[in-house]
Amino acid sequence: MNRYVYDGPVMEFDTCVTRRWKASTYAVSEKKAKSNLAYRFKKANNKPTNLKITLPGKVIVQ
């Protein structure tokens, strides 16, 4: 498993809700890492789990 770091904006549907959010996670792929990070953002900000959250920035492997 690799460690992935995200530092960038968070979009709720097509609206930017956070200009810069930093977080990291361990995952087997970049796709899974983005999924984990989106879920983590939802939980930390009391958003419903079925809400569409996208992370348009780059996820970096460390």
pLDDT value, residue 32: 97
pLDDT value, residue 17: 96
pLDDT value, residue 55: 96
pTM score, whole prediction: 0.92
User: What distance in Å separates the CA atoms of residue 41 and residue 17, rounded to the nearest whole number?
Assistant: 11
User: What distance in Å separates the CA atoms of residue 27 and residue 39, rounded to the nearest whole number?
Assistant: 13
pLDDT value, residue 23: 97
pLDDT value, residue 3: 98
pLDDT value, residue 43: 96
Which residues of the chain fall below pLDDT 50?
none
User: What distance in Å separates the CA atoms of residue 56 and residue 6, rounded to the nearest whole number?
Assistant: 10
